Every structure is written in structure tokens, then in C-alpha cells.
């Protein structure tokens, strides 16, 4: 299959905004560059998606967006999945989007390992202990 | 078959595979002064290369860092024909083995797991008991710095863990509250990741990307301490060394070492007095079945005909609960937050035997909102508009950061028809014949998963979930690979004896999970390492008596 071209980006832009429109404080897909820099980033991480992605995008070119996506979902699920994964994968990498979602990324979360946890003081774990052992011991002959 | 390489030095012990089992043998044997060489087909992984701390981590988890070798397509992996398997086996080929990408859920088997025949009339008892392996479990836990809370009522009293529990977070507390309401068992999750600096490991920073590799060098894997310590103690590690076969001398009736292909594609021979195979439940029988001789035309140490048979892969159930509040459910560890053994033991009125342990976990990163560690498990149906557009945003708002899940690990009973064989055509990148897996999920497993999923959904609702999802059995769920070189006292019905020594070849040993007679219903690595430690200590103690080549 050919390389991704400008026409493909334009088609994908329309598909991406249909899949991920503006909503509340969340921007639409193209507003964060899902069809531009983020598309390049996604395909650099996942070159394996490229062929299926381009096939799907070219199928959709010039067609009604809803018809094209519904037909792909029915008849070429692999291409449909590639398009949606590229769109969401790129979108969710955007700093702007992450901020709007209140998601800082998989950052470290410092804690005090010696702090007594709440379940130790509010009786929750004690109730388990008070119910007693639940295991079946090794049969006696083996002892 | 002649080797083209020059003759190597003969070592006391040759270990194949550097995962949890092989690294236990390497660590304690080098400490005991034995000369040890370790052949590992994979390479060192730089923890900085793991994708977890990069924004694209979930995308990478769908391909390069996928846990299934058939998806990743790495040159260091071997392909597996899984066309006739309901479940895709998962593993890693690296210095450190599959532990480089394991979840670190540290769940030792229970007393009943070693006595399923006596207690439940199914499968086989182990040749030793829970109590026999306990000191070895404790030795391993001490070396790893397991974090956890003492007093779990699902086990006989065991003493405390070497490091305090990692916080169970908002999700852990939420899930525990549901179990508390129902009066069901739960316990804070023990994990193979210390909460304080320990033996070369950093404390877990709760990044939550354990199954994509730990950038913090907090989640234990052998490459972080066991292997480097062993190298300091004299271990010769050869990474990129893919064992094609173990050589057997028909006259001496002993194995003499192994033929491997090095990183440059050159064939080499490694000599040793004793060979220990730790290639995991798929890799180990593959090596034995590829090692043919006059004495063993059907594969090394295979007089019983059982090499490769009785493959067990825990049936896996997944139940998600979405809550009406922000639980920061991308936070780690993942790792277990909590566990429950409420339905672990057999109750035949449920329509199946044996049981399962559930691990309570966080929902994960944003792309996992519709799936679980890289696998999309909930497939949309109907018109795409039902799932996309504004509906997609609303789904993300409802679920992302607000999701807890139960990972249900059920016991799989051994059946000879579930097996690893050698594929007729498939080979790895060195031309070595590759394995084929034939595996069907049993009726007992299906019933077990149905029952447990229904209970887990109840537990989610009791915790206040406003929406639940019960996943149909996932194909990419072969995390736990067991069986295929069964351990037992009867040489007609097993491949190795209670010390991991092949019945048919006195200087050939297997120390990995392939020797497990039954699978338990718990994540197996704690028990794999405890058993490897038991066998290692026995070999060290008996070394003068072990017959050598
Ligand atoms: C994604 C994932 C998550 C998991 N999570 C958990 C968990 O949370 N808790 C738990 O208890 N378990 C978990 N497991 C299972 C756990 O990883 C295994 O039980 C454990 O790694 C088994 O150790 P091992 O040494 O027997 O095998 P492995 O770790 O698989 O190591 C075997 C090694 O042998 C090498 N090898 C194989 N064949 C050859 C050959 N021919 N030549 C040279 N080298 C060879 C391989 O490259 C590999 O490095 C998980 C597994 C996966 C894949
Ligand atoms: S949660 Fe802890 S162990 Fe897991 S990846 Fe993060 S720091 Fe490592």
C-alpha cells in the first residue's frame, strides 16, 4: 500500500472529528492535531496499523462519513479498528486533552509506607479477621 | 549432531532460562559455590525503554510490548502455533523472563492446592505439601521484599512480609467496601514490589504500568538483582543464546550439555555435569521434544509419553465496575490492590470443583477504558454512532478514572488432550522447530467462570458500582502457564520426581511451573519460585550424591 498522503490526512480529519467531536471542555479531534503531528506519532509507535488505516481511510474518501464508517465496521472491522485506535490513541496522548480530562498521565504518586491505612482503623479488616480462617488445612495424614 | 563451535568449559550446572525459576537456581547455586552457566534466548532490557512512563504506553502495549509473542513478532521470541488453542499463551523472552512484564501479584498456593485428589477426588496430589514448601516461600519472599499485610485468613499463619503494604488507593478501598458489606473475605494485596527501598529495588511509585514493565525498577524481576548478584558471584550468563537441544549420551545414559545458537547465528555446544531446564511450560517441553536420541526417539526424558501433556492455563474472568465518583483509577500498583479468596475452596453445590482467587485492580490508563492491558475486550455492536461521537465522550466521562475491576484467576484441571507438541512447519528465526499448543477450555472451567463472574458482579454492585461489565472469556489471557512436565512419584505417570529430577535421566532437572501436577486457582509465580528454591536447596545439599556425567 502507498504511503500516507495529504489527501488521506484530510479524509482522516473528517472521520476523526466525527468519531471525536467537541464536547464540553473537550476539544474536537482535529483541534489537537490528531490528523497531523499526533497521527505521525501514533504511526511511528504503531507502524503495523498503517496498511489497515490507509485502506480504511481511502475507502471513506468522498463518501458520507456515517455510511463509510458503518460500512467499514460491518465489512472491514480491521480497518475500522485501526482508524478508531489511531484517532483515540492520538487524541488521548494530547496534553490539552489530558488536562481537560483531569488525567496527569502515569506519574508517580508518593506515599508514606508506614502510615496506618484506614482499613486498619475503621474495623474493616478486623471484621475479616474475626470471621476466622477460611482455608482447608492439609489433611491430617500428611502432617 | 555435531557442533561446529569449539569445546566449551564444563560447568557444574547449566540452566536454561533466566526467568523467576531459573534465576532462583542461579542465585542460590552460585552462592553455594557451584559453577553455573545460564543460557537465555532473550536480551537485557533497559528499564528506561519500558513504555510505561511515555504517553504512548498503551499503544505500544498493543504491539511491541504486547504480552503474546505471536503479536509482538520479536526476533528473540519463538512463534507458537495457537490455531487449535482457545487461549493465547503470554510470556517474554528477556534476561529476567516473563517477570519483566508480569503484574507482580504475589499469591502463594493454599494448603488444599497440594491435595486436590485427597480433598476433592480430582486430578492428583502433589508429592509434597503446603507445609513442605512454606520455608522456601518465605526465603524467596525475604529475598524479593514482598509488600503485604500479615494475618490473611485465607492461609495458615505465616508471619509478616518484609515490606509494608503499598496503599490500596481509592479503588482498593471501594472494592473492599463491597466485600465488607457482603461479609466476604478480602485482604490487602501482597505484591512483588517493595514499598521501601529493598535489595537493589526502589519502592513502588504507584505508576500503575507494571505489565508494561516498571520504569522505576521497583517491581521485582530477576534482571534487577538476582542475575546481577549471581554474575558477581561467578555466574556465566550468555544472553541471546537459544537452546536447540539438550545432548544425551546413549552410552553414559546422561545428558552432557546443550547445543545453542548464539546471537550471530553460530551453533555452539555448552558442556555441563547437570542440566536444569527453566524455559517455562511451553519452552521447556519444546526443548525436550526437540532433543531426540537413540534412547529417546520421542523426546528427552519422555518414556512416560507425558512430556508436553496436561497443559494448564488458568481460566480468566474479568468483571468491571464503574463508579459515580473520581477514583483516580489510573493509579497503581497494578499489582493487586486487594484480593479475595471467598470462593476459593470447592463447594460442589455450585456445579463445579475447585475455585478461584480474584484480584481487585484499578481500571488503568485511558485507552484501557474499553479493555484490559492492551486487549479490547468489550466489542461494540450496532451502529457506530452508539459508541462514537458524543457517546464516546460520555462513556469516557462515566468510566475513565472511575473503574475498578476483578481479575478472576480460576483453577484449571489437567487433561492430557491439552498439550504442547512440535509444529510440523513452524520454526523460530534460527530455524529451530517451534511449538504448537492444543487447548480447549473445559466444562468445569466454564461453569467456574460463570459462577465467579456472577459473584464478582454482585460484589461490584455492593461496592456501589453504577454500571458493571462482565467480559466473555478473553483469548489473550494465557498469563499463567503450568503443567506439561508433571512431577510425581510414579514414573509411568510423571516426567520428574518430587525434586524436579527427570525419572529417565538422573542429571536432568526441571525447576519451572511445567512440573506442577495441578494449577491452583492463584497467580503461580510465588509457588513457582518456592518450588524452584526447594529443588535448588535439595540439589545443593545432595550435590555430592547427584550422579554426574
Ligand atoms: C503479562 C503477564 C503478567 C503476569 N502477571 C503475573 C502476576 O501478576 N503474578 C504471577 O504470579 N504471575 C504472573 N505472570 C506469570 C509469570 O510471569 C510466570 O509465572 C513466571 O515468569 C514464570 O517463570 P519461569 O522462570 O518459569 O518462566 P519465564 O519467566 O517465562 O522464563 C523462561 C525463560 O526461558 C527462556 N527460554 C525459553 N526457551 C529457551 C530456549 N530454547 N533457549 C534459551 N532460553 C529459553 C525465555 O526466553 C525466558 O526468558 C504473568 C505473565 C505475563 C506474561
Ligand atoms: S506501580 Fe509500582 S511496580 Fe508498578 S510500574 Fe509503577 S512503580 Fe513499578
pLDDT band for position A142 (cuts 50, 70, 90):
low
pLDDT surpasses 80 at A143 = no
- Residue B357 or residue B377, greater confidence: B357
B206: left (phi over 0), alpha (psi -120 to 50) or beta: left
Confidence band, pLDDT 50/70/90 cuts, at residue B372: low
Distance in angstroms (rounded) separating the CA atoms of residues B413 and A50: 42
Report how far apart, in Å, the C-alpha atoms of B539 and of each of B20, B143, B255 are.
Answer: 18, 19, 17
Q: How confident is the model at residue B338 (pLDDT cuts 50, 70, 90)?
A: very high
Does the structure show a pLDDT above 60 at B2? no
Question: With bands split at pLDDT 50, 70 and 90, how would you rate the model's confidence at B368?
Answer: confident
Task: Assess whether pLDDT exceeds 60 at residue B326.
Answer: yes
Q: What is the pLDDT of residue B546?
A: 53
B401 interfacial to chain A (CB closer than 8 Å): yes
pLDDT at B473: 84
Mean pLDDT of chain B: 95
Q: What angle do CA B58, B440, B425 make, to 5 degrees?
A: 80
Q: What would the mean pLDDT of B238-251 be, rounded to a whole number? A: 98
Please report, rounded to a whole number, the percentage of residues in chain B having pLDDT higher than 90. Answer: 93
Residues B71/B63, Cβ–Cβ less than 8 Å: yes
**Which three three-digit cell numbers place residue A113?**
509506607
Nearest to B335 by CA among B127, B446, B169, B87: B169
Tell me how far apart the alpha carbons of residues B266 and B479 are, in angstroms, rounded to a whole number. 32
Contact B72, B65 (CB under 8 A): yes
B504: helix, strand or coil: coil
Residue B333 CA, closest ligand 2 atom number:
1
Give the rounded distance of the alpha carbon of B133 from its chain centre. 18
Residue B421 near residue B289 (C-beta atoms within 8 A): yes
| H helices present in B92-165, as ranges | 116-120, 130-144
Task: Using the atom order of ligand 2, give the atom closest to the CA of residue B209.
Answer: 5
**Backbone dihedral region of B254: left (phi > 0), alpha (psi from -120 to 50 degrees) or beta?**
beta
pLDDT over 50 (residue A124): yes
CA torsion angle A136 B147 B164 B322 (round to 10)? -80
Sketch the domain layout of chain B as residue ranges.
Answer: 10-548
Sign of the Cα pseudo-torsion (B381, B384, B385, B390, in order): positive
What digits encode the pLDDT tens for the residues B496-511? 999 999 999 999 999 9
Kindly indicate the confidence band of residue A2, based on its pLDDT and cuts at 50, 70 and 90: confident
Residue B252 above 60 pLDDT?
yes
The DSSP output letter for B461 is H
State how far the Cα of B430 lies from the Cα of B444, in Å rounded to an integer: 40
Q: What is the mean pLDDT of residues B18-32?
A: 98
Contacts with A140 (C-beta within 8 Å, 6 or more apart), sequence order: none
Residues linked to residue B407 through DSSP beta bridges, in sequence order: B318, B359
The residue behind cell 553460530 is B266
DSSP helix/strand/coil, B12: strand
Cβ neighbors of B121 (< 8 A, separation 6 or more) are none
* Position B430 pLDDT exceeds 50: yes
State the Cα–Cα distance between residues B364 and B403, nearest whole angstrom. 8
Q: What was the pLDDT predicted at B6?
A: 47
pLDDT (tens digit per residue) in B40-82: 999 999 999 999 999 999 999 999 999 999 999 899 999 999 9
Buried b (16+ CB within 10 A) or exposed e, A59-75: bbeeeeeeebbbbbbee
Q: Residue B378 has what pLDDT?
A: 47
Residue whose C-alpha is closest to residue B244's, from B270, B225, B210, B264: B270
Q: Which of A120-124, A130-134, B22-26, B330-334 has the lowest mean pLDDT?
A: B330-334
Mean per-residue pLDDT, B84-100 = 98
Q: Was domain B10-548 assigned CATH 1.10.510.10?
A: no
Q: Is the pLDDT of residue B376 over 90?
A: no
Q: Give the pTM.
A: 0.96
Exposure string (b/e) for B266-299, b if CB count within 10 Å is 16 or more? eebbbbbbbbbbbbbbbbbbbbbbbbbbeebeeb
Residue B155 falls in which region: left (phi positive, over 0), alpha (psi -120 to 50) or beta:
beta
State whether the beta carbon of B137 lies less than 6 angstroms from ligand 2.
no
Ligand 1 mean position, distance from CA B69 (Å):
12
Given a contact cutoff of 8 angstroms between Cβ atoms, the answer to whether B519 and B326 are in contact is no
Q: Is B354 left (phi over 0), alpha (psi -120 to 50) or beta?
A: left
Residue B153 to residue A132, Cβ atoms within 8 A: yes
CB-CB under 8 Å, A139 with B63: no
Q: How confident is the model at residue B548 (pLDDT cuts 50, 70, 90)?
A: low
Residue B543: is its pLDDT beyond 90? no
**Predicted pLDDT at B375:** 45
Q: For A22-78, what is each residue's pLDDT tens digit?
A: 999 999 999 999 999 999 999 999 999 999 999 999 999 999 999 999 999 999 999
State which of B57, B204, B211 you would mutate to test the pocket of ligand 2, scoring each by most atoms of that ligand within 8 A of its C-beta. B204
Report pLDDT for B380: 56
Model confidence at B284: pLDDT above 70: yes
User: CB within 6 Å of ligand 1 — which residues?
Assistant: B 16-22, 39-42, 67, 90-91, 93-94, 97-99, 101-105, 211, 241-243, 278-280, 283, 287, 479-480, 512-513, 523-525, 528
State percent of chain A over pLDDT 70: 98
> pLDDT, tens digit, for every residue of B401-425?
999 999 999 999 999 999 999 999 9
Average of per-residue pLDDT across B355-382: 76
Nearest residue to B125 via CA among B111, B108, B106 = B111
Is residue B242 over pLDDT 50? yes
Give how far the C-alpha of residue B420 lies from the chain's centroid of Cα atoms, to the nearest Å: 17
Q: Provide mean pLDDT across the span B158-187.
A: 97
Distance CA A101, CA B259 (A): 55
- pLDDT tier at B369 (50, 70, 90 boundaries)? confident
Per-residue pLDDT reduced to its tens digit, A78-106: 999 999 999 999 999 999 999 999 999 99
Amino acid at each position: 500500500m502507498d504511503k500516507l498522503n495529504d489527501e488521506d490526512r484530510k479524509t482522516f480529519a473528517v472521520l476523526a472529528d466525527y468519531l471525536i467531536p467537541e464536547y464540553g471542555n473537550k476539544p474536537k479531534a482535529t483541534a489537537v492535531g490528531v490528523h497531523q503531528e499526533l497521527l505521525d506519532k501514533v504511526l511511528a509507535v504503531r507502524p503495523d496499523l498503517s496498511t489497515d488505516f490507509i485502506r480504511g481511510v481511502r475507502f471513506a474518501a468522498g463518501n458520507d462519513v456515517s455510511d463509510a464508517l458503518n460500512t467499514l465496521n460491518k465489512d472491514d472491522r480491521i480497518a475500522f479498528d485501526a482508524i478508531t485506535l489511531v484517532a483515540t490513541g492520538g487524541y488521548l496522548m494530547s496534553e490539552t486533552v489530558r488536562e481537560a480530562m483531569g488525567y496527569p498521565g502515569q506519574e508517580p504518586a508518593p506515599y508514606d509506607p508506614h502510615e496506618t491505612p484506614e482499613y486498619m482503623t475503621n474495623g474493616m479488616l478486623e471484621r475479616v479477621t474475626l470471621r476466622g480462617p477460611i482455608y482447608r488445612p492439609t489433611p491430617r495424614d500428611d502432617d | 549432531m555435531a557442533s561446529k563451535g569449539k569445546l566449551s568449559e564444563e560447568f557444574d550446572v547449566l540452566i536454561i532460562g533466566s526467568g523467576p525459576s531459573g534465576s532462583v537456581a542461579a542465585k542460590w547455586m552460585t552462592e553455594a559455590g557451584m559453577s553455573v552457566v545460564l543460557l537465555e534466548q532473550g536480551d537485557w532490557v533497559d528499564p528506561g525503554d519500558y513504555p510505561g512512563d511515555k504517553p504512548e504506553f498503551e499503544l505500544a502495549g498493543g504491539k511491541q510490548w504486547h504480552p503474546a509473542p505471536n503479536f509482538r513478532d520479536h526476533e528473540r521470541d519463538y512463534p507458537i502455533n495457537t490455531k487449535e488453542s482457545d487461549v493465547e499463551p503470554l510470556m517474554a523472552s528477556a534476561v529476567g523472563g516473563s517477570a519483566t512484564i508480569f503484574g507482580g501479584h504475589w499469591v502463594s498456593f493454599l494448603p488444599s492446592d497440594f491435595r486436590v485428589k485427597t480433598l476433592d477426588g480430582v486430578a492428583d496430589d502433589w508429592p509434597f505439601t503446603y507445609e513442605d514448601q512454606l520455608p522456601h516461600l518465605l526465603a524467596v519472599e525475604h529475598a524479593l521484599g514482598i509488600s503485604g499485610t500479615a494475618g490473611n485468613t485465607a492461609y495458615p499463619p505465616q508471619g509478616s512480609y518484609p515490606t509494608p503494604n503499598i496503599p490500596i488507593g481509592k479503588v482498593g478501598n471501594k472494592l473492599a467496601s463491597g466485600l465488607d458489606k457482603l461479609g466476604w473475605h478480602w485482604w490487602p494485596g501482597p505484591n512483588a514490589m517493595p514499598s521501601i527501598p529493598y535489595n537493589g529495588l526502589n519502592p513502588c511509585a504507584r505508576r500503575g504500568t507494571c505489565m508494561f514493565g516498571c520504569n522505576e525498577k521497583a517491581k521485582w524481576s530477576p534482571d534487577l538483582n538476582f542475575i546481577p548478584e549471581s554474575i558477581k558471584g561467578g555466574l556465566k550468563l550468555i544472553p541471546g543464546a537459544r537452546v536447540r537441544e539438550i545432548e544425551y549420551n546413549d552410552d553414559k545414559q546422561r545428558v552432557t550439555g546443550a547445543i545453542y545458537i548464539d546471537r550471530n547465528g553460530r551453533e555452539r555446544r555448552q558442556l555441563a555435569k547437570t542440566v536444569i531446564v527453566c524455559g517455562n511450560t511451553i519452552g521447556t517441553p519444546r526443548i525436550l521434544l526437540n532433543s531426540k536420541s537413540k534412547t529417546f526417539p520421542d523426546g528427552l526424558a519422555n518414556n512416560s509419553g507425558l512430556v508436553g501433556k496436561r497443559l494448564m492455563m488458568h481460566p480468566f474472568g474479568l468483571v468491571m465496575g464503574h463508579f459515580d465518583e473520581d477514583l483516580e483509577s489510573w493509579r497503581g500498583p497494578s499489582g493487586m490492590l486487594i484480593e479475595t479468596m471467598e470462593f476459593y475452596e470447592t463447594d460442589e453445590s455450585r456445579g463445579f470443583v475447585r475455585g478461584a482467587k480474584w484480584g481487585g485492580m484499578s481500571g488503568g490508563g485511558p485507552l484501557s477504558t474499553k479493555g484490559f492491558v492492551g486487549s479490547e475486550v468489550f466489542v461494540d455492536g450496532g451502529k457506530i454512532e452508539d459508541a462514537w461521537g458524543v457517546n464516546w465522550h460520555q462513556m469516557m466521562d462515566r468510566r475513565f478514572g472511575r473503574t475498578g475491576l476483578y481479575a478472576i484467576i480460576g483453577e484449571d484441571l489437567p487433561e492430557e488432550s491439552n498439550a504442547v507438541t512440535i509444529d510440523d512447519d513452524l520454526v523460530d528465526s534460527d530455524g529451530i522447530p517451534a511449538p504448537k499448543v492444543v487447548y480447549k477450555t473445559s466444562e468445569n472451567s466454564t461453569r467456574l467462570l460463570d459462577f465467579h463472574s456472577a459473584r464478582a458482579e454482585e460484589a461490584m454492585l455492593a461496592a456501589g458500582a453504577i454500571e458493571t461489565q462482565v467480559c466473555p472469556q478473553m483469548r489473550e489471557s494465557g498469563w499463567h502457564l503450568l503443567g506439561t512436565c508433571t512431577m510425581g512419584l510414579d514414573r509411568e505417570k510423571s516426567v520428574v520426581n518430587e525434586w524436579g529430577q527427570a525419572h529417565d535421566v538422573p542429571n536432568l532437572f526441571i525447576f519451572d511451573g511445567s512440573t506442577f501436577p495441578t494449577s491452583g486457582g492463584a497467580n503461580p509465580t510465588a509457588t513457582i519460585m518456592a518450588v524452584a528454591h526447594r529443588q535448588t536447596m535439595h540439589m545443593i545439599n545432595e550435590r555430592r550424591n547427584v550422579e554426574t556425567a
